[in-house]
Amino acid sequence: MSDHSRSSNPGRLRPALFALALGISACGDPLTLPPPPQETVELRFTLYALTNTSVGTPSAYNMVTLATVRTDRSIDLDFAVDMVGGAAGDSTVVIIPRGALGFQLDGGVQLAAEPFDSIALAPVNGYLEDAPLPVDSGDVVLVASRRQQCNFGINRPRYAKLRVESVNRAQRSIAFKIRINLNCGYRGLAPGIPSN
């Protein structure tokens, strides 16, 4: 077939070009996320120290299922808590990312410099993945979950901000408030449907 005969039959190229254009528009820019369908959520929960507490109490949190986790029953978690050092009255509270618990480095925590309500966007970088983060009552922490397969074909974490509401050293419990962006890969942490 000559070049002339190929170019004289543009109808044969139209379906292939249409399919290519459709594929490109469906995939979009690989760095651009599709519109987010879900609002951020704010929850409260209490965790108990990993050590010197009843085995029946939850010591970790799962940012995908939005549930506290008993570490004797599951390793499906994003972070855990403990109280270390000192006497019972002056022990240090730590938030422990997965990597510091011996799991793969995936997700992490970082102390925030801003008040809880002022944080509108989680950072992409700077998360501590392999060591406990010391915190106390009133501290605000930014959290990235384990990366997950998002519905648009790339692996991204969920992002959240949490505040240590109170610490009960006698019961070895820590109460938290958390705001989580349920849209995989989105970093917006203000109320409502995020734009970022």
User: Is 151 inside any structural domain?
Assistant: yes
Domain boundaries, position 166: 32-180
User: Is 196 inside any structural domain?
Assistant: no
User: Is 117 inside any structural domain?
Assistant: yes
pLDDT, position 17: 39
For 127-152, the pLDDT digits (tens) are 999 999 999 999 999 999 999 887 66
Q: What is the mean pLDDT of residues 85-89?
A: 73
The sheet that has 173-180: what strands, in order across it?
41-48, 173-180, 159-168, 140-144, 108-111
pLDDT, position 36: 85
User: Is 156 inside any structural domain?
Assistant: yes
Q: Does the pLDDT of residue 11 top 90, yes or no?
A: no
User: Is 188 inside any structural domain?
Assistant: no
What's the domain count of the chain?
Answer: 1
Give the residue among 61, 65, 39, 37 at the shortest CA–CA distance from 48. Answer: 61
CA gap 51, 59 in Å, rounded: 9
Q: Does the pLDDT of residue 115 top 70, yes or no?
A: yes
